[in-house]
């Protein structure tokens, strides 16, 4: 349970994030934040994590996603910290939340986290859950359209050996992203709760891809 003072800070954080992301790309807008926040709260309860830290980190985790800021990973954490310092929050909590924002991103799956905490595990799982399943499929194709990428091109195979720079600069067809990220996430969940939820969403994506290929060849 949070105190009334903490709840007021959360309410102000919600208002700040809604304002900052009012014109964001549809897969990384306020509704993405909302879904991650609510999912993180469910996982936090099961994993007995600090709900205040989890809430702040979930709400601020994409306040300035690097892919929309010239791949600059410093802007998001700095913006999150600047906001948190305007609130009546203990320094250790500020540092914890900023560390989560710094370490949550997939980045092609090739980088190691420099910080570890139960709360990071929870928020990262919630963020990854929003990248898979029905919502994840919708977000993937929405972003592909936003970047003017082809839906699918059988002549361009997925690349599982990309470094961070290659991953972020890839112009490959959207379907490749399933293999380069989405289908990898089930086995990279941190919490028991996240693993259970990811399994069902992963299965849905596999069923979707099976149907996609049949329709692509006019077989269904």
pLDDT tens, position by position, 141-195: 999 999 999 999 999 999 988 888 888 778 999 999 999 999 999 999 999 999 9
Torsion angle in degrees (nearest 10) through CA of 16, 140, 119, 165: -100
pLDDT at 110: 55
CA distances from residue 38 to 31, 57, 71, 99, 208 in whole angstroms, order as listed: 11, 12, 27, 20, 25
The answer to whether residues 52 and 76 touch, using CB atoms and an 8 Å cutoff, is no
pLDDT at 19: 96
How far apart, in whole angstroms, are the C-alpha atoms of residue 199 and residue 128? 12
pLDDT at 64: 80
């Amino acid at each position: 349970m949070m105190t009334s003072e903490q709840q007021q800070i959360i309410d102000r954080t919600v208002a700040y994030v809604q304002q900052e992301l009012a014109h964001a790309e549809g897969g990384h807008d306020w509704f993405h934040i909302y879904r991650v926040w609510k999912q993180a709260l469910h996982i936090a309860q099961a994993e007995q994590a600090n709900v205040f830290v989890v809430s702040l980190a979930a709400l601020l985790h994409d306040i300035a996603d690097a892919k929309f800021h010239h791949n600059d990973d410093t802007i998001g954490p700095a913006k999150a910290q600047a906001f948190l310092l305007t609130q009546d929050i203990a320094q250790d909590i500020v540092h914890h939340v900023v560390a989560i924002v710094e370490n949550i991103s997939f980045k092609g799956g090739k980088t190691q986290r420099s910080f570890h905490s139960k709360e990071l595990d929870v928020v990262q799982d919630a963020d990854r859950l929003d990248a898979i399943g029905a919502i994840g499929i919708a977000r993937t194709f929405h972003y592909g359209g936003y970047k003017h990428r082809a839906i699918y091109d059988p002549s361009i195979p997925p690349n599982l050996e990309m470094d961070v720079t290659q991953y972020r600069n890839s112009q490959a067809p959207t379907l490749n992203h399933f293999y380069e990220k989405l289908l990898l996430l089930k086995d990279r969940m941190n919490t028991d709760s996240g693993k259970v939820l990811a399994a069902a969403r992963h299965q849905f994506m596999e069923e979707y891809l099976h149907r996609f290929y049949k329709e692509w060849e006019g077989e269904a």
